[in-house]
């Protein structure tokens, strides 16, 4: 049985509230879980002390048992000093797609043609 430390969503519509839980990886997101180890309220200010509430001792115990945190929970653990999260890098993320590049090339060619004919 593979265990995940992940978020389960609660709260009203457009007012999310998440619990940090340990669950079987096959269980649904908001379904059955083994133990609640914390909470996350994204509606609170980023510098609020109670935005992320985490029981560090329970988290350490579950990590020792082999539970794998999801990426978002790993960010919380990194902030708490439990685990180190490696930074990710995607240099091509900001580049436009193939069609947009083709349109930009056509537009540049048309602008160069217009400036050549104006001279």
pLDDT one-digit tens code per residue, 66-75: 999 999 999 9
The CATH class, in words, for 3-80 is alpha beta
**Among 18, 22, 20, CA closest to 61:** 22
- In whole angstroms, give the CA distance from residue 94 to residue 102: 16
- Per residue in 27-56, pLDDT (tens digit) is 998 899 999 999 999 999 999 999 999 999
The pTM of the full predicted model, rounded to 2 decimals, is 0.73
> So where are the chain's domains?
3-80
- On whether the CB atoms of residues 4 and 69 are closer than 8 A, the answer is yes
């Amino acid at each position: 049985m593979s265990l995940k430390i992940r978020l389960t969503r609660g709260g009203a519509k457009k007012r999310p509230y998440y619990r940090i839980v340990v669950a079987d990886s096959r269980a649904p997101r908001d379904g059955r879980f083994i133990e609640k180890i914390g909470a996350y309220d994204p509606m609170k200010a980023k510098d609020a002390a109670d935005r992320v509430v985490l029981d560090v001792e329970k988290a350490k115990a579950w990590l020792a048992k082999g539970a794998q945190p999801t990426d978002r929970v790993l960010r919380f653990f990194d902030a708490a000093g439990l685990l180190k999260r490696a930074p990710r890098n995607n240099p091509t993320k900001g580049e436009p797609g193939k069609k947009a590049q083709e349109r930009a090339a056509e537009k540049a060619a048309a602008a160069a043609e217009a400036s050549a004919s104006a001279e």
